[in-house]
Structure 1
Amino acid sequence: MSETLWQPSASIETLQARAEIINKIRCFFAARKVMEVETPSMSQACVSDVHLHSFATTLTGPAAPHSMSLYLQTSPEFHMKRLLAAGSGCIYQIAKAFRNEEAGRFHNPEFTMLEWYRVGFDHFALMDEMDTLIDLVLACGSAERLTYVEAFEQSLGINPLSASHADFVEVAKGLSVADLVEQETDRDTILQLLFSLGVEPYIGQQRPCFVYHFPASQAALAKISATDPQVAERFELYFKGVELANGFHELTDAEEQAQRFAKDQQVREQYGLAPAQIDKRFLAALAAGLPECAGVALGIDRLLMLALETDNIQQVQSFSIERA
């Protein structure tokens, strides 16, 4: 072991700047009377999304004489929505999240997430508020807004909702991934590949860019648009090649959410993944009544990378996983 690995991965000056920015964020929400909350980092349930992988542990001893499986949260979302259903009103949280996924300059298994929910907001109102917060931190000006379809048409010249598989293969040739697309049968997998290679690098370079109204098949926990059933009321925010946030006009229908979880389980089985432990308490909260609201999760570490002009997420964290 290197003798220097005891030292932080970020400089003390960077950590001071980090503290100042996080304090600025807290003041932002305090001025708007959005309550700060804390929820558990561990849960008896985990997410069903095939692209998210939870860390698992086992509770033993007096608290669980027969042992209990627990999962580190990939996001505080489900717990926060239970608070909303209990009548909390508008809330936010700056929390640790944990994802067992790929490494890279934008990834660390443990990271800090800002998540907030605004009762009575739709996704457009939440984008407005988020725009103000991002400009406060980055002094970057107002964000551009593109629909998912517009982003594809602008960057790749195709409509992702109506394009054929042959259209996707043709576009993929210019991205050097035609072989992958030819063999892939899942439309959303193809769309995500083309979006990451052919759209993301070209949007939000001069100023942040909201991409909204993703395909209905990629709704996750968002409502399907009442005016266009092909799309979901979901948005993501990009800036300088960094995916910063993912937000929803939140689905409030417990039955529909249960159906989406069941579909996720089917996809997990197709991919040879173990079934997820579905959060029945979250579904019960939806059934009891989640208020109309919009919510968003923003990666604090990535935001700080942009604010402090660093190249790697490790440079804005006190101790990266290699030094933990």
Structure 2
Amino acid sequence: MNKIINWKPSISINNISKRANIIKKIRKFFNDRSVIEVETPTISHFATTDVYISSFKTILKKPGINNPIKMYLITSPEYHMKRLLAAGSGPIFQLCRCFRNKEIGKKHNPEFTMLEWYRPCFDMYNLINEVNDLFQYILKCDNTELSSYKDVFIKYLNIDPLLAKKTDLLKIAINFNLKDIIKYKKNKDSILEILFEFCIRPFLGKKKPITIYHFPSTQALLAKINKKDCRVSERFEIYYKGMELANGFDELTNFAEQQKRLEDNNIKRNIIGLPVYHIDKYFLSALKHGLPNCSGVAVGVDRLIMIALNSKKINDVIAFPINIA
């Protein structure tokens, strides 16, 4: 007997229409502010060196050439967009498909829609205000709260993450029954991220969005370091109803420092047994040419729509998730 295959989309027809209207409103928001919409490639010669993100690999075959070329689906349009900024594009935004392996769940699909934009002459706080404006426009929510990374750790775990020793963090993790999750974590940052994910994030933004800023400088691959306190970066994340919606920076423009950080990432990847990738030479060349002082942010569009439509699963707001694609 033939098995019946469920070929239908996971999203309702009603939600298809609502999703389309939200995407239309996002474009209007930026068009009204004279931010140019751009398109950049979905396939790149370079994978991300980020330790916490896994790239999809593909193969490019050229006619008449036997040796295939390794290529990768983008995890973010960031590097290409920064090349546009270095070329003098001015303020830009993009709505595009991104791909991250090993990310599947109620709030994750390996293929997802990202909104990313960059604002020359904006610092981190200017950009936080603009993200807040967008969220109020789309979600009709209250103004975002502001809290430093340090302060949320003190509030929920009664410990200063910038001063805490690794042994102190391990004790907290054990008290929260996270022993099995953190037993392979070899550095302080990994443990901090686990504690943030399991012990803090679920409580963030229950009633209105909250912006967490000044993440540790060791958790800021692409952000500037704070001039007054080198322990923290000019990086922020925005949470609402327990979900991360946005991740933004006052962008690092120093070519030598950025190259060093990417090289250090590859060292970390090698230590923990992850593939080591070539660093994107085009991105670094653009930085060397000169990236304007700017801030940029990435927003998970599917999650934004989940909140707008009061959905509990990402499958309710996308047509064909990975299990039926």
> Matches of 1:252 and 1:9 in 2, distance apart?
42
* Mapped pair 1:33 → 2:34: yes
**SS state at 2:208 partner:** coil
- Within 5 Å, which residues of 2 pair with 1:1-324? 3-62=4-63, 66-178=67-179, 181=182, 184-324=185-325
> Matches of 2:184 and 2:76 in 1, distance apart?
33
1:182 deviation in Å?
Answer: 6.6
> Matches of 1:234 and 1:259 in 2, distance apart?
18
Q: Which sections of structure 2, spanning at least 5 residues, go unmatched?
A: none
The Cα offsets for residues 249-298 of structure 1, whole Å up to 9 and x where unpaired, read as: 00001111110111011111111111112100000000000000000000
Q: Specify whether residues 179 and 74 from structure 1 end up closer, same or farther in structure 2 by C-alpha distance, changes over 3 A only.
A: closer
1:183 deviation in Å?
Answer: 6.3
> Matches of 1:215 and 1:226 in 2, distance apart?
13
Q: Percent identity between the aligned chains? A: 47
1:58 deviation in Å?
Answer: 1.0
Q: Which sections of structure 1, spanning at least 5 residues, go unmatched?
A: none
> Matches of 1:46 and 1:184 in 2, distance apart?
23
**SS state at 2:279 partner:** coil
Query: What residue identity is the alignment partner of 1:195?
Result: F
Q: Which moved more, 1:296-305 or 1:54-63?
A: 54-63
Query: Is contact 1:113-1:297 (8 Å) kept?
Result: yes
Query: Is contact 1:168-1:181 (8 Å) kept?
Result: no
The Cα offsets for residues 41-86 of structure 1, whole Å up to 9 and x where unpaired, read as: 0001111011111111111132866322110000000000000000
The Cα offsets for residues 1-33 of structure 1, whole Å up to 9 and x where unpaired, read as: 864522111011101000000100000000000
Q: TM-score, normalised by structure 2?
A: 0.96
The Cα offsets for residues 196-252 of structure 1, whole Å up to 9 and x where unpaired, read as: 111111221110010000001001100011111000100011111111111010000
Q: CA RMSD in A?
A: 1.5
The Cα offsets for residues 98-125 of structure 1, whole Å up to 9 and x where unpaired, read as: 0101321011110000000001001110
Give the number of equivalent residue pairs: 324
Q: TM-score, normalised by structure 1?
A: 0.97
> Matches of 1:184 and 1:39 in 2, distance apart?
36
1:306 deviation in Å?
Answer: 0.6
Query: What residue identity is the alignment partner of 1:243?
Result: E
Query: What residue identity is the alignment partner of 1:246?
Result: N
Query: Is contact 2:74-2:99 (8 Å) kept?
Result: yes
**SS state at 1:321 partner:** coil
> Matches of 2:32 and 2:87 in 1, distance apart?
23
1:178 deviation in Å?
Answer: 4.2
Query: Is contact 1:170-1:178 (8 Å) kept?
Result: no
1:311 deviation in Å?
Answer: 1.2
> Matches of 1:174 and 1:315 in 2, distance apart?
36
Q: Which moved more, 1:190-199 or 1:60-69?
A: 60-69
